[in-house]
Amino acid sequence: MWHSKDVYYISGSTGILAEDLGKSLLCQFPEISFNTEKIPFIRTEEDATKALEHILSRSTGRYPLVFSTIMSKALIAILDVPEVEFFNICDYYLEQLEVILEAKPLRLSGCSRHLDESTMANRVNAIQYCIAHDDGSLLKDYDEAEVILLGVSRSGKTPISVYLATQMGIKAANYPLVAEDLDSYRLPSAIIRNKARAIGLSTSPENLHFVREKRYEGSTYASPSTCANELRQANQIFLNYNIPIIVSDGRSIEETATQVAQQMSLKRLPRL
């Protein structure tokens, strides 16, 4: 068994797709250490030759793994040599689709990333909206939100809102449930009016205690009893208003944000 391997992600565009797909496969082998490098924007035969020379000079005799999203058959022929383990992620499926669809593919890299001006403007608007409506700001504008995240302090509202805006182009506002809301079991009218677009974020008392303790060690705010009580009150509010609840325990920001988008049937914009 190899204890370490050199890995290269190569692409005719940014290399993000090659890297994402490669990492999703390599993470299944945690006992092996991977030394990774991304080589983007390989668009000519000269680019491909230089990339191969670089790979071979750095990984002589080690048979490095090369994950590629190169579309051009001429460039693939240069890069797919016996000295490397070459995984061309797109070409195999592209050939199958060519047969199934009875049509010739463009074989141009980066097609999915050619964002038009309207798409870019929508993403910028979503980011600006997220920043302006963080932590309960400007409730009067909540009618414009595509999703409103509710939760107690430190339940993950802001990072999930930011991910929804920056990565998915979704206008996300977030509102912290403060003592007045929790004790009265009521929400502000701006949220009640838009509750069809509200999502409740919850977590376990243990996780909330851990997060709060790192910020305010030994405080009443971070105590297990406070955390448990606030979560109980918040969950009751969500039930009272029939607001769906997403529990973030054990999930990354990306996973929770994706679940939010799915719950609200929100369509994400293409990635940058």
195-224: average pLDDT: 94
With a cut of 60, say whether residue 194 has pLDDT above it: yes
Of the pLDDT bands very low, low, confident and very high (cuts 50, 70, 90), residue 21 is: confident
Q: What is the mean pLDDT of the chain?
A: 89
The residue type of 30 is: P
212-219: average pLDDT: 92
Listing DSSP states for 71-126 in one string gives: --HHHHHHH--TTSEEEETTHHHHHHHHHHHTS-----TTGGG---HHHHHHHHHH
* pLDDT tens-digit readout, 50-89: 999 999 999 877 899 999 988 888 999 999 999 999 998 7
Under 8 Å between Cβ of 249 and 204: yes
**Residue limits of CATH 3.40.50.300 in the chain:** 117-263
Domain 117-263 in this protein, CATH class: alpha beta
With a cut of 70, say whether residue 272 has pLDDT above it: no
Of the pLDDT bands very low, low, confident and very high (cuts 50, 70, 90), residue 107 is: low
Domain topology for 4-113? Rossmann fold (3.40.50)
With a cut of 60, say whether residue 139 has pLDDT above it: yes
pLDDT for 168: 87
